[in-house]
Structure 1
């Protein structure tokens, strides 16, 4: 019964199709045929189509490298080392190229020599770069400081934006509350570079504002132990954040920060999208780049509470004080 019902349902459709074909032939048209012989005949009668070679589309190169501007300087060398420790390929651009450092890590960096103002000579290297970290800065006359700290970095920011670099990290400087005539060109240049970064990289530009950066600074064959001054000051001043809001003297209480912490924070800001765009002050740099900062802060608060309450410390030396 079911088969007879389906057959009866198909008959009207078949009759309609046959009537359509007959009408098409009577009107001078061509009936549609689905037979294999007619299909072969149609295929054989089709002119031979010339098969052209498909256009090759190059796959965009994967961006994995980090470009460090000023990578042979005090901060720049530590940024290069930190990036290498994370397994990242590193390219450095500076006016003098390869540094006079004999450590083995230097051989793992691609050293470029050039000027940031001559972007045509080096911007092609940005096609494989995922992030740029600028450590460029310097002192001199006000005009020279505006050019080095401002114009040079702005040229780099523009080139990186043009080439589609993902993230840009700029190591600026904290405002130490100095009179406007002291180092005015230095801070004006820094501010101009920060404004350019906010404009070109509004969602992926990170500005680091450290104060005094300390560590072992190598000048030729000599090593200058800046940490001899910086470390004690950092240990004392790093917990005085509320005091930095005081008028006049507040900015002078901004604590020094280790160069290794600045480097770690810079590299992490360059590769970690979880780091939001904007400004990282010295405490933000410590949180991001100094793993011992939080633990030391907790231990210090515990020690202070014990001293105020008269609680006896456990045996053994205190890890902080």
Structure 2
């Protein structure tokens, strides 16, 4: 039997790299797609050197906002994962050049300006019916990373290309909830992506991992933040969940990034897993995967 083939869009990120690791551990053929290719390892692990498993991953460069750059890489894939998203909107080139501050990005996020509909409604999957795929960013956003184009549109278009290639299962890394400091559009675009993918591509098994706040010792700040989030989750539980709607993900138990990554790989391989996967089920899937390694 040939090895399963997995493509992870955002495979060089904090969670995506760990998904690649656990898939390699199962003997799968793994390809990562990102703008920069291989990760900067000290940004996702505790070392600046690539781990042994990384040599078994094909690190490809492509732009998730331009389907033409990644569509050929999906051919022959059994599973595809979308592990991308943003918490804060910004002109990414402006931020890198120091021309825009995170505060300005936060102002844009709360702006009441009109937002574009999803890319299927805008017919941006092809140019005049040709095979050449367009950039899914509406012209008015230019270099702007928005909740719409990153959290929603990039996932919908990746799912469309995956369905075109008859991929068996597609996993979208969604979120357990929003947060008081984030605009409602953050979680709204996540949920819209889930609904659109499930309804538009029914022939492909879709798995929506509603991840909570993720932490790992390789990023000490996430451990501290997880502690605060854990307090919020405990308070929400003690109060009977009445604050859950307001607190969003801040009132949900945080999980180690490795736990979620292991659960993603297990969910892809388990044909019975479909639709939203909440935090409790994420933990159960990770435990199921761990037990397999102990046999």
TM-score, L = length of structure 1: 0.62
Tell me if the contact between 2:229 and 2:251 (Cα under 8 Å) persists in the aligned partners: no
Give the corresponding residue for 1:171: 173
Point out which structure has higher relative CO (alpha carbons under 8 A, 6+ apart). Answer: 2
Tell me if the contact between 1:167 and 1:201 (Cα under 8 Å) persists in the aligned partners: no
SS at match of 2:22: helix
Tell me if the contact between 1:67 and 1:133 (Cα under 8 Å) persists in the aligned partners: yes
Distance 1:243 1:129, change over 3 A: farther
- Deviation, 1:211, is 1.7
Structure 1 gaps of 5+ residues are: 1-60, 218-222, 294-321
Q: Does 1:188 align with 2:188?
A: yes
Distance 1:116 1:215, change over 3 A: same
Alignment root-mean-square deviation, CA: 3.0
Distance 1:241 1:201, change over 3 A: farther
Tell me if the contact between 2:152 and 2:189 (Cα under 8 Å) persists in the aligned partners: yes
Give the corresponding residue for 1:106: 54
Cα distance in 1 between the residues matched to 2:200 and 2:3: 19
- Deviation, 1:207, is 0.5
Cα distance in 2 between the residues matched to 1:100 and 1:204: 32
Q: Does 1:132 align with 2:129?
A: no
Structure 2 gaps of 5+ residues are: 42-48, 90-107, 110-144, 291-295
- Once the two structures are superposed, residues 193-214 of structure 1 have per-residue CA deviations (whole angstroms, 9 ceiling, x without a partner) of 1122212443611101122111
Equivalent residue in structure 2 for 1:253, among 232, 251, 267:
251
Q: Does 1:284 align with 2:281?
A: yes
TM-score, L = length of structure 2: 0.67
Cα distance in 2 between the residues matched to 1:227 and 1:291: 25
State which structure, 1 or 2, has the greater radius of gyration over its C-alpha atoms.
1
Distance 1:243 1:164, change over 3 A: farther
The structure where helix makes up a greater share of residues is: 1
* 1:1-321 alignment runs, 5 A limit: 64-101=4-41, 102=49, 103-138=51-86, 139-140=88-89, 141-142=108-109, 144-176=146-178, 178=180, 182-202=182-202, 204-217=205-218, 223-224=219-220, 226-230=222-226, 234=230, 237=233, 243=239, 245-247=241-243, 251=248, 252-275=250-273, 277-290=274-287
- Deviation, 1:67, is 0.5
- Deviation, 1:239, is 11
